[in-house]
Amino acid sequence: MDANTNNIIPHLLTAQAGPFYELEKHILDHQVKIEIWFREKWQKLPHLFTSSVDLRNAGFKICAVDANLFPAGFNNLNPDFFPLCIQAAQSTLYDLYPKCMKVLIIPENHTRNPHYYQSVATLAEIIQKSGYEVRIGSMLPISKPQQIDLPDSKSLTLYPLQKIEGKLVSDDFVPCLIILNNDLSEGIPELLQDISQPIEPPPYLGWSYRSKTHHFVFYQEICREFSELINIDMWQIFPLFLDCGEIDFVQRDGIDCLVYKSEELIEKIQQKYNEYNIEHKPFVIIKADAGTYGMAVMSVRDPQDLRKLNRKQRTSMSVGKGGRTVNRVLIQEGVYTFETIGEEQSVAEPVVYMLGPHVVGGFYRVHKARSIDESLNAPGMHFEKLAFAECCNNPHNLNGSHLTQNQFYVYSVIARLALLACCKERANK
Amino acid sequence: MDANTNNIIPHLLTAQAGPFYELEKHILDHQVKIEIWFREKWQKLPHLFTSSVDLRNAGFKICAVDANLFPAGFNNLNPDFFPLCIQAAQSTLYDLYPKCMKVLIIPENHTRNPHYYQSVATLAEIIQKSGYEVRIGSMLPISKPQQIDLPDSKSLTLYPLQKIEGKLVSDDFVPCLIILNNDLSEGIPELLQDISQPIEPPPYLGWSYRSKTHHFVFYQEICREFSELINIDMWQIFPLFLDCGEIDFVQRDGIDCLVYKSEELIEKIQQKYNEYNIEHKPFVIIKADAGTYGMAVMSVRDPQDLRKLNRKQRTSMSVGKGGRTVNRVLIQEGVYTFETIGEEQSVAEPVVYMLGPHVVGGFYRVHKARSIDESLNAPGMHFEKLAFAECCNNPHNLNGSHLTQNQFYVYSVIARLALLACCKERANK
């Protein structure tokens, strides 16, 4: 076992542990019922091959706060669970594309990020060991194969791509499946239009079409049903949200609406805090509706501050990945992170990874400098990644004792609720 | 990690390691091709939920020597790979019985073997954690639930069974799937006849109907195809065999034929040994065609010895599990076990476990007193069980270095060849 995963796991601050353990116990008591329910859902919805979900755990509530269909941290998973990844990929691809033998992965165009390419290489290795020929084909304008050195001292080769007679190929390599690890924030390139092979996920699930608001509408629907299933208050797993039409941060258009809705949301959160005797101050997160990479995200405690944003702040909120202009935002209940690590109590946020319907691991974003009410995924922010020390599908329901494997099972349940919401996005496009 | 699995793995005696590593390298070089081939096979054949395969590794050849559809050693698997078992059970049951929620396991009737019940409890836990309600229903004549204490100080409850209106039930528990962990050596009991729920595996795959000869005919067919796929001599993975009509050890009927055929087989083996410059003495294994539990198995170096069997030896060869009379035998090429463990060089034989098409681990039968040409699975024999230290689906093809994870991958390939043969048995019944 890697030193990195040497049973160091985050713990909840004492005041918040009690309510979490209660919810955990409740979920464990309903484990079979929950798995049956998931199974019924998977039968009705189209699956997704790769996904990751960001969680925030405040103890009194644990929520999915973002879902990503183009995860970029496969290299941060615990290598001990690599066999689990291989098996999950194997059974998922077998179910989705039983006849396929050659898989093309299309990564992001981050030519300068070796850590990202390490993740792509890890995903490629998982798929290759599942029994597929794998090639990595780049949308960068390259004319010959390009070798990228990786942090683990191996390397990866990017191949140029061509569209020939409606098929995406890389020289003599004709894939039967294209796996997209590029979020298409800048739209669907011509190269990917009108090709005959299946693309997983479909390009219409890229960030040029996805909307966080839509996602959370589906997540709400899923959480409502799940909460009824095991009889909990939906708020325990769901962050309240509102949206706010068109916005232009630079021109200050729509700021009034943003202030008004933020106040409304903070009021609602306060009511729930009162109901649960929570003495913390409510806050909201404002994020670009089509945002990713932690860009254009802002934590707001006093909505009036929104009127005082300076030019730099407004500019930073108005630009998403790839320079895209932000013109819609989601106002979401801020969820405190009361999970901390080590003596320094660094703030930790779990990220759960899935292949098909299977949770295959995850890691914590651990940050020393950020506080418990800020997003830990922000551009330029340095965070450590700490692989989950245990698997997420092996809970152990013992009376009166808290085991870390149970905490990971709770993560896996909440993450799969968000995955179901993504599957609904796919079904409804 | 359990002390039991603390990276102790058997090693091949030096003289035999070379040829094995060559075969291993060859298999690794064809890994993607092999997995694609398996995938094509799984699409054409009915699956099996539980199976285990006994291997013997002589270095110059590695073979499946027995395949079991009612494995009794789930408790001997490495607990580190429990998540892999859960995921494999989950995806297999999802594919086979998507609507099912309640599973009944029918164990053997070994009321006095707590280790066996520990295996049943482990299998039940795997299925339960996969998201099914599980009950263990016994075919013993019990009228009320009976608690069995287990070695791990937990307990297991056996429930009485009833057949009501063509359904097998246990009071108010109406299963939608019955998992048989009872090999039905004594025939299909009335309780299991004409019931409407699926039984996995079907009772006609119990030992009252199966024949090792049929199995090895299919195994031969599979091995031939596989050997052509990766261009190896089939003999490297296949033990030669002959069968010998009706036999009565007590009355000495059919012994002549047995001697004659054994001589013929030893001659054939000697030819292969000459071809490969192997200086060991060939031997054959004679085993009951419908035998299990290592009963009625005999190692023969000189076929003339078969004429000199005393009454006790003949009686022991004539009685199989449950007192069934042995009247057919299989004469199989004996495969030396050159895998040994520890300073004492105890002989070790790998047993590979599968759930559906997924290899989920295994263990070694380790025996201090047995020699390299004897069966290690024999009644009354005490062997240690040593869980596999690594997974079987994560090979790593590095030039010039032998890694244990590669050895486990080779096991997984050979074991799955035998599983395919079992699936063919199912398809052809």
Residue A375 has pLDDT above 90, yes or no: no
Q: Are residues A104 and A174 in the same domain?
A: yes
Residue A100 has pLDDT above 90, yes or no: yes
Top pLDDT among A7 and B318 is at B318
Q: What is the pLDDT of residue B327?
A: 80
Last residue of one domain, picked from the residues B334, B364, B381:
B334
- Mean pLDDT estimate for chain B: 89
Q: Are residues B300 and B324 in the same domain?
A: yes
Q: Are residues B142 and B157 in the same domain?
A: yes
Asked if residue A148 belongs to a domain, the reply is yes
Q: Which of A33, A38, A90 to mutate to test the interface with B (most CBs of B within 10 A)?
A: A90
Q: Are residues B60 and B138 in the same domain?
A: no
pLDDT band at A401 (very low <50, low <70, confident <90, very high): low
Q: Are residues B268 and B412 in the same domain?
A: no
Asked if residue A27 belongs to a domain, the reply is no
Instruction: Note down the domain range covering A155.
Output: 98-208
Check CB contact under 8 Å for A81 and B81: no
Token pair of A54 as six digits: 């960001």
Burial of residue A79 (CB within 10 Å: 0-12, 13-18, 19+) is middle
pLDDT band at A383 (very low <50, low <70, confident <90, very high): confident
pLDDT band at B5 (very low <50, low <70, confident <90, very high): very low
Q: Are residues B345 and B234 in the same domain?
A: yes
Last residue of one domain, picked from the residues B334, B351, B370:
B334
Residue A295 has pLDDT above 80, yes or no: no
Q: Are residues A251 and A306 in the same domain?
A: yes
Q: What is the pLDDT of residue B222?
A: 98
Top pLDDT among A308 and B232 is at B232
Top pLDDT among A211 and A17 is at A211
What is the phi/psi pair of residue B330, to 5°? -110, 135
Which chain B residues touch A94 with a CB distance below 8 Å?
Answer: 39, 42
Q: What is the pLDDT of residue B283?
A: 95
Check CB contact under 8 Å for A42 and B94: yes
Of chain A, the percentage scoring pLDDT greater than 70 comes to 92
Asked if residue A164 belongs to a domain, the reply is yes
Check CB contact under 8 Å for A82 and B394: yes
Q: What is the pLDDT of residue A2?
A: 37
- Could you give the number of structural domains in chain B? 3
Q: What is the pLDDT of residue A18?
A: 81
Asked if residue A109 belongs to a domain, the reply is yes
Lowest-pLDDT range, A36-45, A138-147, B122-131, B391-400? B391-400
Asked if residue A34 belongs to a domain, the reply is no
Q: Helix, strand, or coil here: B115?
A: helix
Q: What is the pLDDT of residue B182?
A: 95
Asked if residue A284 belongs to a domain, the reply is yes
Q: Are residues B419 and B341 in the same domain?
A: yes
Top pLDDT among A92 and A374 is at A92
Q: Are residues A330 and A272 in the same domain?
A: yes
Q: What is the pLDDT of residue B200?
A: 97
Asked if residue A153 belongs to a domain, the reply is yes
Burial of residue B94 (CB within 10 Å: 0-12, 13-18, 19+) is buried
CATH of the domain at A139: 3.40.50.11280
Check CB contact under 8 Å for B35 and A132: yes
Q: Are residues B196 and B249 in the same domain?
A: no
Q: Which of B33, B47, B84 to mutate to test the interface with A (most CBs of A within 10 A)?
A: B84
Top pLDDT among B13 and A48 is at A48
Strand-by-strand arrangement of the A177-181 sheet: A146-149, A155-159, A133-137, A102-107, A177-181, A199-200
Contacts of A369-375 with CB under 8 Å at 24 or more apart are A371/A347, A372/A336, A372/A337, A372/A338, A372/A347, A373/A283, A373/A299, A373/A301, A373/A334, A373/A336, A373/A337, A374/A299, A375/A285, A375/A287, A375/A294, A375/A297, A375/A299
Q: Are residues B131 and B171 in the same domain?
A: yes
Q: What is the pLDDT of residue B19?
A: 85
CATH of the domain at A259: 3.30.1490
Residue B107: what residue type? Answer: P
CA dihedral in degrees (A397, A398, A401, A406; nearest 10)?
-20
Last residue of one domain, picked from the residues B334, B369, B387:
B334
Which chain B residues touch A130 with a CB distance below 8 Å?
Answer: 35
Give the separation between CA B281 and CA B333, rounded to whole angstroms. 12
Q: Give the pTM.
A: 0.92
pLDDT band at A400 (very low <50, low <70, confident <90, very high): low
Maximum distance among all alpha carbons in chain A? 65
- Mean pLDDT estimate for chain A: 89
Q: Chain B: which residues have CB within 8 Å of chain A?
A: 1, 31-32, 34-36, 38-39, 42-43, 80-84, 86-88, 90-91, 94-95, 98, 101, 128-133, 358, 391-395
- Chain B nearest-CA distance from A241, in A, is 32
Check CB contact under 8 Å for B36 and A131: yes
Give the separation between CA A192 and CA A97, rounded to whole angstroms. 19
Token pair of A308 as six digits: 């005082």
Asked if residue B83 belongs to a domain, the reply is no
A357: closest chain B residue by CA: B91
Distance of alpha carbon B368 from its chain centroid, rounded?
21
- Chain A nearest-CA distance from B398, in A, is 12
DSSP label of A70: S
Q: Are residues B120 and B159 in the same domain?
A: yes
Q: Chain A: which residues have CB within 8 Å of chain B?
A: 1, 31-32, 34-36, 38-39, 42-43, 80-84, 86-88, 90-91, 94-95, 98, 101, 128-133, 358, 391-395
Give the separation between CA A415 and CA A38, rounded to whole angstroms. 12
What is the count of residue pairs from A and B with beta carbons less than 8 Å apart? 89
Q: What is the pLDDT of residues A152-184, one digit of tens each?
A: 888 999 999 999 999 999 999 999 999 999 999
Q: What is the pLDDT of residues A323-346, one digit of tens each?
A: 667 788 899 999 998 888 777 778
Lowest-pLDDT range, A17-31, A332-346, B106-120? A332-346
